[in-house]
A and B are shown apart, each in its own frame.
Chain A
Amino acid sequence: MSLQGLVERLPRLVRVFDFLLPLLATLAALAIGAVMLVLLKASPLESYSALLEGAFGSKNALADTLVKATPLLLVGLGICIAFRGGVINIGGEGQLVVGAVAGTLVGLKFPDASGWLIVPSALLVGFLAGGIWGGIPGFLKAYFNVNEILSTIMMNQIAVQGMNYLLRGPMIDPVQLEAASRIPQTARLSAQFDLPRLIPTRLHLGTGLAIMAAVLVFIFLWRTTAGYRIRAVGLNPHASRYAGVNVKRYIVLSLLLSGAFAGLAGVIQVYGVNHRMFTDGSATGFTGGAGFNGIVAALFGQLHPLGTIPASFLFGALLVGANKLQRVMQVPSALITALNGLVVVFVVSSELWRRRLARARTVETKEEALPPTDAEAKVVP
């Protein structure tokens, strides 16, 4: 191979490196995790093989990973829309809860109806409810200049309070009421409402729906006028306004859609996995933190709907594998959360390095300057 050929091939090699960087970052985070494991007197090698086995070791493990990745993907899709539209949605937890409660209500209200009727309407209701919950901060942001980071956080708290009220009172399982144990959960939804299982595992139709949604969001953002306008508003609201875009309306729309996908994640979680709604008093009890982790998955997927698919898969694997790790090695559960946090920080910072390297390369080769990426679009809370 001539030197010339190698030089010509260099950009492609660099691109492969770019792609590998998040994975390298994950490995680096796991290396630090290994140090923590050693400090806890657990063998890192055994621990990580337990993690891998837990996430990918069997058909069931793989199915669990996919099931865990599903809400992350859906929330992440919403995050892609919001962040591309220049607004920040930290209200995924609340929107997910609201969507789940609304969707559950549909199923509880008509226990004898056909699943063909109820499941789609529950999905729709959850989608809309999440959309409303996300749309409120959007409306406040667009028309009253209320900071959306803070209002979505506040809306999370209000959603949790509402959920606790409903599940301890009006929506509580009659059985729990009679047994006087009063566990705050609803009755189990009728069996005909369960989302169909795909293979004889816990894998359900919701995962397929989420992947379809990812494709739809991609088409929406890059192949429709509304999607184009959302991105335009996100990149430069002033220019968009002069181009005749109703900026306020698109701010509301992007937060509304963002909330809607989180709401959909909530309904799918109920109809596909839990078949009832329950609470431990906090949001994470039901969501498993999907509303927050979805943001991370979306950032990892570079705020691209299709990139978010593998990103959520990776985080799903980490969550499921960590469960197994905890059971096998008897390490404290807090280690797992810390490990997740480390992966997140490393992956996000690797992304920063990648971008820096990319910029350095463009400067060196005197190529045309890279356009600013969306994540660099300035955000003023």
Chain B
Amino acid sequence: MNDSEIIRILASIIFQSTPLMIAVSGETITERAGVVNLSLDGTMLMAAMTGFVVGLKTESLWIGFLAAAAVGALFALIVAFGNIRLRQSQVAVGFVLTLLGDDLSSFLGQNYTRIPGPVVKHFGIPVLKEIPILGPIFFNQDATVYFAFILVIVTWFLLFRTQPGLRIRSAGERPESAFARGVNVNRIRYLYSILGGALVGISGAVYSFNVKLGWSEGHTRGLGWIALAIVIFGGWSPVRGAFGAVLFGATKALATFLQKAFPEVSVVAFNSIPWLLMIAVLFVAGSDVTERLVVFMPRFVQRPLRRLLRVAPPMALGTTFGED
């Protein structure tokens, strides 16, 4: 394997993990506000299908993406409404929506399977793509990839460096205190569930317009769950989440590579790698294993390392907030 081939593989890993980055950013916003949108898998399927069909009919990528975002927003709105108005468990509503999205997308999209549709065009950024090594990996991609990069940074900035971000996090951490301080917790939760859901919807359309072209039954099945796992792995930070998405893409690429290298080993073993890795990742992220290791580090790296590895869910995640 020569250098150019390695660069090509790395570029494809970045490309493949783009939609996951977008979905993870969206769900991170939603969960920071205290709402778990468990319907991600169904949402992405519905959005991928709707976006594709609308894009095909109108011959416009923009309208396709817009429709996908609307579908994502609608699903998130149902979760938020079920939780806030109907006082129902977010997990139950989200799970039912997952099943519904899966079924409905295969029903409504059955006449549109395996036909070519609009495609996001390749767009290398001039100058930047000439940078050796980094250029071809990061800047000789499609517009959706750059959108994902920018989105991750904007999401991070929104959450941790702006006043709305502070309100979002307060709604997810201590809704009672936030409410006492004059934050309209439930409005925040509605608003940012919908925003996060719209981003998840866009990520579905990125699959059908860009990464996995077209539509087929169960087009993105399973990826929504992966995105949910990466949100946890990312410690509810969009930047770490983006790294998680790339890491997942890398293990998939590694699995494909190993499979070619060791054809005698069952394909099953390699297909299981990403899933086993996700469990391992959740294991490391959630347990105090890392803390035990950190103790052995020199004192001056302990604090930044702890900050880096910190994984604590928003304290009020998944709970219902009643103002009364």
Contact = CB atoms under 8 A, between A and B. Distances in A.
A349 B225 CA distance: 23
B283 A88 contact: no
Interface of A: 88, 90, 140, 143-147, 149-151, 153-155, 157-158, 161-162, 164-165, 169, 292, 295-296, 299, 332, 334-335, 337-338, 340-342, 344-345, 348-349, 352-353, 355-356, 375-381
B283 A341 contact: no
Given A165-B268, A344-B100, A348-B96, A375 B318 contact: no
A177 to B, nearest CB: 16
A299 B92 contact: yes
B interface, size bucket? 35 or more
Contact of A161 (B110, B271, B282, B320): B271
B283 A144 contact: yes
A332 B217 CA distance: 13
A162 B276 CA distance: 12
A158 B96 CA distance: 23
A378 B316 CA distance: 9
B160 interface: no
B287 A88 contact: no
A145 B269 CA distance: 26
A337 B103 contact: yes
B318 A337 contact: no
Given A151-B279, A158-B276, A349-B82, A375 B100 contact: no
Contacts of A338: 103-104, 107-108
B318 A146 contact: no
A334 B107 contact: yes
A377 B91 CA distance: 11
B283 A375 contact: no
A143 B225 CA distance: 22
A161 B107 contact: no
The interface residues of chain A, by DSSP majority, are classed as: helix
A155 B102 CA distance: 20
B286 A146 contact: yes
A59 to B, nearest CB: 30
B302 interface: no
A157 B275 contact: yes
Contact of A150 (B228, B289, B319): B228
A156 to B, nearest CB: 9
Contacts of A144: 283, 286-287, 289
Interface of B: 36, 38, 82, 86-93, 95-97, 99-100, 102-104, 106-108, 110, 217, 222, 225, 228-229, 232, 266, 268-269, 271-272, 275-276, 278-279, 282-283, 286-287, 289, 313, 317-320
Given A335-B107, A341-B99, 8 more contacts: A146-B282, A161-B275, A296-B96, A341-B100, A349-B82, A352-B82, A375-B88, A376-B89
A332 B319 CA distance: 40
B103 A379 contact: no
A380 B313 contact: yes
A344 B266 contact: no
A328 B43 CA distance: 32
B286 A334 contact: no
Nearest to B82: A352
A151 B282 contact: yes
Given A146-B283, A150-B232, A348 B99 contact: no
A378 B319 contact: yes
A341 B91 contact: no
9 contacts: A144-B286, A150-B282, A334-B217, A337-B103, A338-B107, A344-B100, A348-B96, A380-B313, A381-B91
Contacts of B107: 332, 334-335, 337-338
A88 B272 CA distance: 23
